[in-house]
Amino acid sequence: MRQILNIEQVAFKLNRSPSYIYHNRRRLEASGFPKPLEILGGGYDEAAIDLWLDRQIENKDNLPTVERESTEAFRRINNRISRLFPSLEQKEV
């Protein structure tokens, strides 16, 4: 089943603030970041975001070493959490 994320969940997944997503949305979308699904209230498809992240990591040679390592570490941790707690849903604050 596909998960639809709100802006806060997307920001958490990207290790950014919601305001960062709002202010950089056009730039992110220009790099292939998925657009919000207006039909579902502006939520984001988590699978599409994961695919975008995977593509960013594939192009990791373009990233500085520290950012590349932190991006890979964040992705590994996120994958472990998903495997350990598959039914865990992020709660809105």
Element (H, E) at 72: helix 65-84
For residues 64-92, average pLDDT: 71
pLDDT tens digit sequence for 6-64: 999 999 999 999 999 999 999 999 989 999 998 767 899 999 999 999 888 777 665 55
Where b means 16+ CB within 10 Å and e means fewer, 51-89 reads ebbeebeeeeeeeeeeebeebeeebeeeeeeeeeeeeee
For residue 81, name the pLDDT band (cuts at 50, 70, 90): confident
- pTM, rounded to two decimals: 0.59
82 confidence band (pLDDT: 50, 70, 90): confident
pLDDT at 67: 62
The pLDDT confidence band at residue 91, using thresholds 50, 70 and 90, is very low
